[in-house]
């Protein structure tokens, strides 16, 4: 016979909220991913955040840690205009605690700029994020 499912609370410390997920028990929630649309929370910025559920100090309420932050394509298209340039890149950065992150900066200029300026911006972002 199938197990009865019910709602369990999961704490998300990044946004100081709790969400309820449908499952048969708390242990089956550990390791699952949640995708949350943060558009309304961040005043119209089109961002989607993916969280991974992990066990926390409180065994009754598991916690969710951020796994991926993504800017939605419609928001990028809305920000780009005909008379602007953009710079995009992708590289791996190591944090202070030794975790590796893939960072994909996306810069939009106010006017059309030359390739040399775009390259200088890209290198400045890489230097800034590596020092941070």
**Residues 10 and 35 sit within 8 Å (Cβ to Cβ):** no
| DSSP conformation letters of 35-80 | EEE-TTTTTT--EEEEEEEE--SSTTS-EEEEEEEEE-HHHHHHH-
Under 8 Å between Cβ of 50 and 66: yes
Question: 41 by DSSP, 3-state: which?
Answer: coil
- Is the pTM above the cut of 0.85? no
Task: Give residue for tokens 């961002």.
Answer: 47
Cα(15)–Cα(8) distance, integer angstroms: 18
Mean pLDDT of 27-56: 89
Residues 42-61: tens digit of each pLDDT: 787 889 999 999 988 888 88
Q: What is the pLDDT of residue 7?
A: 92
For residue 90, the model assigns a pLDDT of 96
Cα 11 to chain centroid, rounded: 17
Q: Which of 43, 38, 45 is nearest to 12 (CA)?
A: 38
């Amino acid at each position: 016979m199938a197990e009865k499912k019910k709602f369990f609370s999961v704490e998300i410390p990044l946004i100081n909220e709790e969400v309820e997920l449908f499952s048969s028990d708390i242990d089956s929630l550990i390791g699952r991913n949640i995708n949350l649309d943060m558009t309304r929370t961040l005043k119209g910025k089109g961002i989607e955040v993916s969280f991974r559920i992990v066990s926390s100090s409180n065994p009754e309420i598991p916690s969710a840690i951020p796994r991926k932050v993504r800017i939605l394509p419609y928001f990028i298209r809305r920000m780009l205009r005909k008379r602007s340039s953009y710079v995009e890149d992708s590289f791996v950065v190591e944090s202070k605690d030794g975790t590796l992150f893939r960072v994909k900066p996306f810069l939009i200029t106010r006017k059309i700029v030359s390739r040399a300026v775009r390259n200088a911006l890209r290198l400045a972002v890489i230097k800034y994020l590596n020092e941070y």
